[in-house]
């Protein structure tokens, strides 16, 4: 199987290294993986990738690929590169929630055809899209509440310890959690992208990103965080999706929650999601939601699913 990789940054490098490390699992299913090429902006940058990897600024190699893994990020930038490849009806694995949220008109048909794999786009290596696109559909969905952004979670947790906002943001960037630009994180837009992606599995297969009401954490002060702590609460950037009349209400905003709430107890750098359905009851998902290797784990998992013949993540029809 010839695999093409777009991007070799925090996530792309770990995807390449994990494919190399887990070669035996591919051999177990009878597949020899060959990396056709890795597209980047700057070929002279030092990279931690397996020896002999072909790194290039040219995307011609895509035409020889059986599957492409996209880790460039951005909305139109990756789609412009992918468009000719997508026309040939071959699969794409991506962690790019911005592209999924904002270019759904163009991508939805591929997703309905089972050609798009995107477990890593929400909560990175903590599987939520898998269950929401399969077994949870038997249950009547009512509501979800989630912490979906590692950068904001890290910043707010550091502020609980007294660190100021700017220093905490720099820390999240150094850990490889933040988007480029980080306004996507702190402005709440990354969380809104992820909420739109999730809504298409449980509420409306065409849920528009523009329907999410967004407030970020930029105006949360050290005094706000510490006042919450004194009262046994924590401030979290919370994504919510619930029924409103005959439709759905989707919001992203900072909220004060009791410190023993499942969205708080998940941990400082972890994401969490509380899912409520009539028949399945209340489910809690928690785990790492940002970082190179944890994201790579879901993307390489998607690659394995594809090789085993499982379709990609199909939204509600
Ligand atoms: P990153 O570290 O900034 O890496 C981006 C890579 O894309 C770099 O290798 C860069 O090339 C390449 N690139 C950017 N623009 C390009 C262009 N026009 N042509 C060719 N190559 C280009 O980003 P990342 O953190 O790995 O994130 C990648 C994607 O994963 C994003 O969609 C992000 O939202 C998503 N994601 C990230 C995380 C995380 O924790 N980081 C978690 C889940 C999902 P150069 O190296 O030459 O600059
Ligand atoms: N910037 C994102 C975050 C990366 O901080 O959660 C994972 O999607």
Cα–ligand 1 centroid distance for 9 (angstroms): 5
Is there an atom of ligand 1 within 6 Å of 207 CB?
A: no
Is there an atom of ligand 1 within 6 Å of 198 CB?
A: no
Burial of 89 (0-12, 13-18, 19+ CB in 10 A): exposed
Is there an atom of ligand 2 within 6 Å of 150 CB?
A: yes
List Cα–Cα distances, 243 to 164, 193, 237, 251, 299, in angstroms: 37, 19, 20, 12, 31
Q: Which residues pair with 70 in a beta bridge?
A: 6, 94
Q: What is the pLDDT of residue 19?
A: 98
Q: What is the pLDDT of residue 37?
A: 96
pLDDT for residue 267 is more than 90: no
Reduce the DSSP state of residue 53 to 3 states and report it.
coil
Q: What is the pLDDT of residues 107-136, one digit of tens each?
A: 999 999 999 999 999 999 999 999 999 999
What is the mean pLDDT of the segment spanning 2-10?
A: 98
Q: What is the pLDDT of residue 89?
A: 87
Q: Which CATH architecture has domain 132-287?
A: 2-Layer Sandwich (3.30)
Residue intervals in the chain for CATH 3.40.50.720: 2-125+292-308
pLDDT for residue 245 is more than 90: yes
Q: Please provide the average confidence, as pLDDT, over all residues in the chain.
A: 96
pLDDT for residue 217 is more than 90: yes
**Nearest listed ligand to the Cα of residue 9:** 1
Radius of gyration of the chain (CA): 19
Cα–ligand 1 centroid distance for 11 (angstroms): 7
Give the ligand 2 atom nearest the CA of 154: 5
Active-site residue, selected from the candidate residues 194, 234, 236, 249: 194
Q: In which residue are the tokens 């990020």 written?
A: 73
Give the ligand 1 atom nearest the CA of 70: 29
pLDDT for residue 97 is more than 90: yes
- Tell me the CATH number of domain 2-125+292-308, given options 2.102.10.10, 3.40.640.10, 3.40.50.720, 3.10.20.310: 3.40.50.720
Residue intervals in the chain for CATH 3.30.360.10: 132-287
Look up 194 and say whether it is catalytic.
yes
What is the mean pLDDT of the segment spanning 80-90?
A: 93
Q: What is the pLDDT of residue 2?
A: 97
Residue nearest to atom 21 of ligand 1 (CA): 40
Q: What is the pLDDT of residue 11?
A: 97
Q: What is the pLDDT of residue 159?
A: 96
Q: What is the largest CA-CA distance in the chain?
A: 59
pLDDT bin (cut points 50, 70, 90) of residue 268 is confident
Residue closest to 222 by CA, chosen among 280, 152, 262, 162: 162
Residue closest to 264 by CA, chosen among 289, 282, 238: 238
- φ/ψ of residue 204, rounded to 5: -155, 120
Is there an atom of ligand 2 within 6 Å of 240 CB?
A: no
Q: What is the pLDDT of residue 1?
A: 96
Is there an atom of ligand 2 within 6 Å of 185 CB?
A: yes
Q: What is the pLDDT of residue 242?
A: 98
pLDDT bin (cut points 50, 70, 90) of residue 269 is confident
What is the mean pLDDT of the segment spanning 29-50?
A: 97
Q: Percent of the chain, pLDDT > 70?
A: 100
Q: Give the helix/strand (H/E) hosting 306.
A: helix 292-307
Q: At what angle do helices 222-230 and 150-160 cross, to 10 degrees?
A: 70
What is the mean pLDDT of the segment spanning 25-38?
A: 95
Please state the length of the chain: 317
């Amino acid at each position: 199987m010839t695999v093409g990789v777009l991007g070799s940054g925090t996530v792309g490098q770990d995807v390449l290294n994990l494919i190399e490390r887990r070669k035996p699992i591919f051999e177990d299913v009878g597949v020899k993986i060959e990396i056709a090429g890795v597209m980047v902006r700057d070929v002279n940058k030092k990279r931690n990738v397996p020896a002999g990897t072909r790194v290039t600024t040219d995307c011609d190699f895509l035409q020889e690929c059986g599957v492409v893994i996209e880790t460039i990020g951005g909305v139109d930038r990756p789609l412009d590169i992918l468009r000719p490849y997508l026309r040939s009806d071959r699969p794409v694995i991506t962690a790019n929630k911005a592209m999924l949220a904002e270019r759904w008109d163009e991508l939805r048909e591929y997703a309905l055809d089972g050609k798009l794999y995107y477990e890593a786009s929400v909560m990175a290596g903590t599987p939520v899209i898998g269950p929401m696109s399969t077994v949870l559909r038997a249950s009547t969905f009512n509501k979800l509440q989630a912490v979906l952004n590692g950068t904001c979670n890290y910043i707010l947790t550091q502020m609980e310890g007294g660190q100021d906002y700017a220093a905490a943001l720099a820390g999240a960037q150094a850990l490889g959690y933040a988007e480029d630009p980080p306004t996507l994180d702190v402005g709440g837009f990354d969380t809104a992208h992820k909420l739109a992606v999730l809504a298409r599995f449980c509420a409306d297969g065409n849920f528009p990103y523009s329907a999410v009401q967004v407030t970020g954490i930029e105006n949360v002060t050290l005094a706000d965080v510490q006042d919450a702590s004194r009262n046994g609460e924590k401030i979290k950037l919370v994504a919510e999706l619930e029924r409103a009349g005959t439709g759905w209400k989707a919001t992203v905003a900072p909220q004060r929650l009791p410190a023993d709430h499942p969205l708080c107890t998940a941990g400082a750098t972890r994401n969490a999601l509380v899912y409520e359905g009539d028949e399945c009851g209340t489910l809690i998902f928690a785990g790492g939601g940002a970082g190179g290797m944890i994201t790579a784990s879901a993307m390489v998992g998607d690659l394995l699913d594809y090789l085993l013949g499982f379709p990609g993540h199909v939204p509600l029809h």
